[in-house]
Chain A
């Protein structure tokens, strides 16, 4: 069974950056695509981007292009999502979600709450 363990709650100022981690276990990291999905308070799910460790490059939703970077460290089986130039609208729970490359998102982390507040 795949486990995705995310880093803890973050409180950030507008204009700053946040970096959230997601450590995987129970699967072969190189064959497991990791994605980031966020959910603002009371809202639906929004895909931010993902990474296929085989290729090592992130793939991002157009909305976040230029503001987000997703990376993967195969040595530690950990993926990272860095979001820059935060605004109040970035307040959300950020989920790490993964699946075998070519499949969907069948495993999810518990989420990381990121609050942007002045």
Chain B
């Protein structure tokens, strides 16, 4: 079982909200991890969006719109990236990442389609 699992795709309408999940493998407690989120558009490197551990331990990258926010769902053992007021420019691949067992681990990525 992968350390981080993300849905392969998600579709949402312009103006709506998209909730992207990053589920940690059973036995790995989401509460102890900083979850990092990245956005990648075709032909470009990933861009750091934000990291979230708790409301008192979080950071958004400079220039990232406030429409992007992080949270956790402890009951699902998952990190959440919420994108509100979806715009066409938000269409991209989104990756989560954690520091686990002395290395960085990425989720498989979610392709977000805005239609």
User: Which chain A residues have a beta carbon within 8 Å of chain B's beta carbons?
Assistant: 35, 37, 44-47, 49-50, 59-62, 95, 97, 104-111
Contact = CB atoms under 8 A, between A and B. Distances in A.
B5 to A, nearest CB: 12
Interface of B: 34, 36, 38, 40, 45-48, 51, 61, 95, 97, 99, 102-109
B95 A45 contact: yes
B95 A44 contact: yes
B48 A44 contact: no
B99 to A, nearest CB: 8
A61 B105 CA distance: 9
30 contacts: A35-B104, A37-B104, A37-B106, A44-B95, A44-B106, A44-B107, A44-B108, A45-B40, A45-B46, A45-B109, A46-B106, A47-B103, A47-B106, A49-B103, A62-B103, A95-B45, A95-B46, A97-B45, A104-B36, A104-B48, A104-B51, A104-B97, A104-B99, A105-B36, A105-B97, A106-B61, A108-B45, A108-B46, A108-B48, A111-B45
